[in-house]
């Protein structure tokens, strides 16, 4: 087989235009330089604006610059040195009867007894006193009615 030797340059000149490639490369380089200069100018402008908007330092802050703050003052350590009490004082026990303030007439009652008294005196309706289907909160505002209360019935 005979191979023919190419005449002229050693590559195909019709597949690519080197002039267009060089122009595109130059355009990309010029664009990159312009973008970098624009960003540099933008940052310089922003730094200038930040310096102009910053208030002057407080003279007291300049005077104390480099000094450490005073150590913290721990409070309550003298209270921790007291001996631990084994039981709370008798006046604060919630499971006994006693006077809180005799002049005003305030007494302390055990919690179970206080709950029974509230139900017996019907200060809060008990679950057994309601008939099924009646809601004791029916006329009151609630999140379900957007705080408006029950609709008024028309006669």
- Mind listing the pLDDT tens digit for each residue in 76-87? 655 555 565 565
* Overall average pLDDT of the 59-70 stretch: 80
Distance (Å) of CA 117 to CA 75, 106, 109, 127? 44, 15, 10, 15
- Mind listing the pLDDT tens digit for each residue in 104-139? 888 888 888 888 888 888 776 555 555 555 666 666
Query: What are the domain boundaries of the chain?
Result: 17-52, 96-126
């Amino acid at each position: 087989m005979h191979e023919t030797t190419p005449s002229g340059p050693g590559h195909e000149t019709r597949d690519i235009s080197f002039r267009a490639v060089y122009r595109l490369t130059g355009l990309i380089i010029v664009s990159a330089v312009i973008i970098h200069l624009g960003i540099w100018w933008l940052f310089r402008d922003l730094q200038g604006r930040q310096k102009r908007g910053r208030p002057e330092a407080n003279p007291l802050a300049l005077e104390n610059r480099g000094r450490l703050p005073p150590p913290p003052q721990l409070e309550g350590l003298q209270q921790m040195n007291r001996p631990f009490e084994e039981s709370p004082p008798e006046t604060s026990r919630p499971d006994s009867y006693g006077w809180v303030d005799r002049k005003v007439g305030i007494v302390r009652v055990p919690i179970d007894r206080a709950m029974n008294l509230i139900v017996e005196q019907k200060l809060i309706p008990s679950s057994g006193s309601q008939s099924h289907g009646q809601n004791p909160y029916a006329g009151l505002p609630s999140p379900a009615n957007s705080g408006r209360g029950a609709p008024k019935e028309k006669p």
